[in-house]
Structure 1
Amino acid sequence: MADEARERAEKRLGEVKGFYSHLGIFIFINVLLFLVNILTSPGQWWFYWVTIFWGIAVVFHGSRVFGKGRVFSSEWEEKKIRQYMEEEAQKK
């Protein structure tokens, strides 16, 4: 029982670390793109397209990791697995 709880905690920690890594890379790359945009073509703003679409992905990633009603969470997966197993057992 304690091993399962530890495994779930480690998995959760990995998800949180993954999000913060994603966020850090997002910020770093977008600052770089902003600087490249300013230095190479100051009159044409193209960097924000990357920021907008990648930002949407970061928001979805954050909502998946930290959201209350996490869709496709491990709890949801377990519930669905049990449901499908019960349905299969009833067919036999």
Structure 2
Amino acid sequence: MDINKSNFRKAKNKVEKLKRFYTHLGVYFIINTIITVVKVMSNMNMGETFEEAFFDFSTVASWLVWGLVIVIHAFSVFGLPLIVGDDWEERKIQQYMNEELQQDKNYE
């Protein structure tokens, strides 16, 4: 029964991480699309062509900077478990619990 609870907790944690990532990705596309439309329209009103306005660095910068953050987030969700293992969190929790127990024993 305890193993089932542990497995359920791990699966739920993975689903929550995926949900946060996909939400982040959706917000990234929505907000950057709005920023791009506003900047392109503003630049075109100032006399630039569509191409000049669209490929202006200030227009593309938010996609690039936030895109880097998305890549890091994706790595933490998909890549990091491949490197450190799926049970890394469980091992770290156990390590810290053992350290706390050891400290408590030292004070007794």
Give TM class, smaller chain: 0.7 to 0.9
Matches within 5 A, 1:1-92: 1-42=3-44, 43=48, 45=56, 46-67=58-79, 68-70=82-84, 75-83=87-95, 85=98, 89=102
1:2-53 Cα shifts (integer Å, max 9, x gaps): 0111011011000001000000000111111110011111345212111111
- Aligned partner letter, 2:70: V
Quote the offset at 1:83 in angstroms. Answer: 4.8
More helix by share: 2
**Structure 2: runs of 5+ lacking an equivalent:** none
Q: CA-atom RMSD, angstroms?
A: 2.6
One-letter identity of the residue aligned with 1:41 = N
Q: Give the TM-score taking structure 1 as reference length.
A: 0.77
* 1:59 partner letter: V
Contact 2:36 2:59 in 1 (8 A): yes
**Cα distance in 1 between the residues matched to 2:91 and 2:10:** 16
Q: Which amino acid aligns with 2:78?
A: F
Percent identity, please: 29
Larger radius of gyration: 2
Alignment-mate amino acid for residue 61 of structure 2: W
